[in-house]
């Protein structure tokens, strides 16, 4: 430290004054990749024979089959989507006397389009991009117009779901439903219109931005994640998240990206078997893939090198990590059927359990909410973490 001060002071003095001209030191954020045994397998060769994972593989395939929609469900959703999109496409090219709003484009998004929908969740998503501003009155008028055109198109079909009306309007758009399926119409607008939105008149700006992002997500998925193993893993992870409330904060887009990473990001660049990829998801989360300071997974559809896990709070990141660590220990001792929901309950992530004579105790959180005494320091830490993306983007752009 002394030598550093003398060297700095010397340069400052040579500059003609007693003050150093060196700019103040700025701490640079350097994201770290968590340890990944799949990428480091050459450096850490296995000491024991390869474990027979045929039972886990069979259970994963069986679970995927149970979670997949039946042919009848697929047909019901597909038929309704086709009819609804035909009506919307007609409004794009030939709106006729409908002038409340103007449609620019209609795009299918979501799980049905990606092929990762779960059985019993017969909902398909369609984004409608408006040329005009998305007022609430325009959304209501479009819903009524779609309902009227569908009744003409589907004269022989019943467009009601129980005692509810055909059309159900909500803050994101509206739903079109029959007795077997639902099509969720999500309203968006052109990107240049987003800055013109007013909360009292138009639909929510954040919701509009999310719908435009859903189009980018679906386009990326179709181009990069079309392998069948990825879709199988996504379906299994979605079911797992629905059963373990500790994973509720994880979004569908996060699940898509981590499934793609677990299967395709390996030295061979070939799809990993489903059993290895399933284990790898918990290994990555346990190693801190979604923790502060981790490189995580960069969103491939957003500029600026945004890491998807920064959308989670610090408490949620910690919860996701230590829950995955508990599940990984259970999985290592043969508890895959309980993790997959084929047997038992999910209490073992909160209570002590025994697996083949081995006691697994659930881990405790590491992150602690700030108290009044250290609230200022905690706010600084939170601000630093929130700015990691900006620092990371500026450094990379500079390179």
The C-alpha atoms of residue 168 and residue 261 are separated, in whole angstroms, by 37
The pLDDT value recorded for residue 380 is 52
The pLDDT value recorded for residue 10 is 42
Q: Which two tokens stand for residue 256?
A: 């898509």
Nearest one of 161, 198, 192 to 80, comparing CA atoms: 161
Count Cα atoms within 13 angstroms, Cβ side, for 56: 17
Nearest one of 292, 308, 282 to 363, comparing CA atoms: 282
Q: Which two tokens stand for residue 78?
A: 């597909």
**Burial category of 348 from C-beta neighbours within 10 Å (exposed 0-12, middle 13-18, buried 19 and up):** buried
191 phi and psi angles, rounded to 5 deg: -55, -35
Mean pLDDT, consecutive 10-residue segments, the chain of 399 residues? 43 48 67 89 80 91 96 94 94 91 95 95 96 94 92 66 66 92 96 92 94 97 95 97 95 97 93 96 96 94 92 96 96 94 92 93 89 55 50 39
The pLDDT value recorded for residue 43 is 87
The pLDDT value recorded for residue 156 is 54
Distance of CA 193 to the CA centre of its chain: 26
The pLDDT value recorded for residue 23 is 61
The pLDDT value recorded for residue 107 is 96
Residue 96 Ramachandran class (φ > 0 left, ψ -120 to 50 alpha, else beta): left
H/E/C letters for each residue in the chain?
Answer: CHHHHHHHHHHHHHCCCCCCCCCCCCCCCCCECCCCCCCCCCCCCCCCCCCCCHHHHHHHHHHHHHHCCCHHHHHHHHHHHHHHHHHHHHHHHCCCCCCCCCEEEEEEEHHHHHCCCCCCCCEEEEEEEECCCCEHHHHHHHHHHHHHHHHHHCCCCCCCECCECCEEEECCEEEEECCCCEEEEEEEECHHHHHHCCCCCECCHHHHHHHHHHHHHHHHHHHHCCCHHHHHHHHHHHHHHHHCHHHCCCCHHHHHHHHHHHHHCCCCCCCCCHHHHHHHHHHHHHCCCCCCCECCCECCCCCCCCEHHHHCCHHHHHHHHHHHHHHHHHHHCCCHHHHHCCCCCCHHHCCCEEECCEEECCCCCCCCCCCCCCHHHHHHHHHHHHCHHHHHHHHHHHC
229 phi and psi angles, rounded to 5 deg: -65, -35
Q: Which two tokens stand for residue 202?
A: 């138009």
The pLDDT value recorded for residue 24 is 64
Place of tokens 């439903």: 177
Long-range contacts at 204-207 (CB < 8 A, ≥ 24 apart): 204/171, 207/171, 207/172
The pLDDT value recorded for residue 299 is 96
End-to-end CA distance of the chain: 30
Distance of CA 140 to the CA centre of its chain: 29
Distance of CA 280 to the CA centre of its chain: 18
- Domains in the chain and their CATH numbers? 54-66+227-367 (1.10.1410.40), 70-221 (3.30.460.10)
Q: Cβ of 308: how many Cβ atoms within 10 Å?
A: 20
The pLDDT value recorded for residue 146 is 93
Point out which residues pair with 123 in neighbouring strands.
182
The C-alpha atoms of residue 323 and residue 202 are separated, in whole angstroms, by 40
The pTM for the full model equals 0.84
Nearest one of 3, 50, 107, 64 to 341, comparing CA atoms: 64
Q: Cβ of 371: how many Cβ atoms within 10 Å?
A: 8
The pLDDT value recorded for residue 41 is 85
The C-alpha atoms of residue 221 and residue 107 are separated, in whole angstroms, by 14
Place of tokens 């609430």: 136
The pLDDT value recorded for residue 159 is 56
């Amino acid at each position: 430290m002394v030598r550093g001060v003398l060297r700095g002071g010397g340069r400052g003095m040579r500059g003609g004054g007693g003050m150093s001209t060196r700019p103040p030191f700025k701490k640079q954020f350097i994201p770290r990749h968590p340890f990944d045994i799949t990428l480091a397998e050459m450096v850490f060769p296995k000491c024991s024979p390869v474990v027979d994972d045929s039972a886990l593989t069979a259970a994963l395939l069986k679970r995927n089959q149970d979670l997949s929609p039946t042919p009848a469900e697929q047909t019901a959703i597909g038929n309704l989507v086709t009819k609804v999109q035909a009506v919307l496409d007609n409004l794009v090219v030939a709106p006729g006397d409908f002038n409340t709003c103007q449609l620019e484009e209609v795009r299918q998004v979501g799980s049905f389009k990606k092929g990762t929908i779960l059985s019993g969740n017969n909902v398909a998503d369609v984004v409608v991009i408006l040329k005009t501003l998305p007022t609430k009155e325009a959304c209501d008028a479009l819903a009524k117009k779609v309902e009227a055109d569908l009744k003409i198109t589907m004269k022989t079909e019943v467009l009601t779901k129980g005692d509810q009306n055909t059309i159900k309007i909500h803050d994101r758009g509206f739903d079109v439903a029959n007795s077997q399926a639902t099509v969720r119409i999500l309203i968006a607008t052109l990107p240049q219109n987003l800055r013109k939105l007013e909360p009292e008149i138009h639909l929510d700006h954040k919701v509009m931005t999310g719908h435009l992002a859903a189009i980018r997500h679906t386009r990326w998925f179709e181009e990069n994640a079309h392998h069948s193993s990825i879709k199988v893993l996504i379906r299994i992870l979605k079911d797992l998240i629905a059963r373990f409330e500790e994973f509720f904060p994880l979004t569908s887009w996060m699940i898509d990206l981590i499934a793609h990473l677990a299967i395709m990001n390996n030295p061979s660049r070939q799809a990993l078997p489903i059993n290895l990829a399933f284990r790898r998801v918990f290994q990555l989360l346990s190693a801190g893939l979604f923790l502060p300071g981790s490189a995580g997974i960069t969103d491939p559809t957003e500029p600026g090198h945004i890491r998807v896990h920064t959308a989670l709070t610090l408490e949620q990141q910690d919860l996701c990590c230590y829950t995955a660590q508990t599940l990984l220990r259970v999985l290592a001792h043969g508890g895959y059927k309980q993790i997959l929901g084929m047997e038992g309950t999910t209490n073992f992530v909160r209570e002590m359990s025994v697996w083949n004579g081995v006691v697994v105790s659930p881990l405790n959180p590491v992150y602690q909410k700030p108290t009044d005494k250290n609230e200022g320091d905690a706010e600084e830490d939170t601000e630093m973490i929130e700015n990691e993306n900006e620092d990371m983007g500026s450094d990379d752009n500079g390179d």
